[in-house]
């Protein structure tokens, strides 16, 4: 049980939740970096690109 009765499971649950939170945070950072990279490539292509404005709206 995870109710603090001293059986050692509290540490396991805490460890799992901590790792899950850290992994989620790292995923969020990776997503922001990927979006920034896509936006950079789109801006570099310029308004002459066929799908420039629809892509700007989506990013």
Q: What is the tens place of the pLDDT at every residue in 22-51?
A: 999 999 999 999 999 999 998 898 888 888
- Report DSSP state, residue 47: T
User: Does residue 4 surpass a pLDDT of 70?
Assistant: no
Long-range (24+ apart) CB contacts under 8 A made by 48-51 are none
| Angstrom distance (rounded) from CA 10 to CA 56 | 47
Query: Quick one: pLDDT at residue 57?
Result: 85
pTM of the model: 0.64
| 15 within 8 A of 2, measured Cβ to Cβ | no
Domain boundaries, the chain: 9-58
């Amino acid at each position: 049980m995870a109710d603090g009765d001293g059986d050692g499971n509290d540490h396991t649950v805490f460890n799992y939740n901590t790792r899950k939170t850290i992994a989620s945070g790292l995923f969020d950072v990776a997503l922001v970096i990927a979006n920034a990279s896509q936006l950079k490539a789109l801006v570099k292509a310029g308004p002459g690109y066929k799908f420039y404005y629809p892509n700007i709206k989506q990013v």
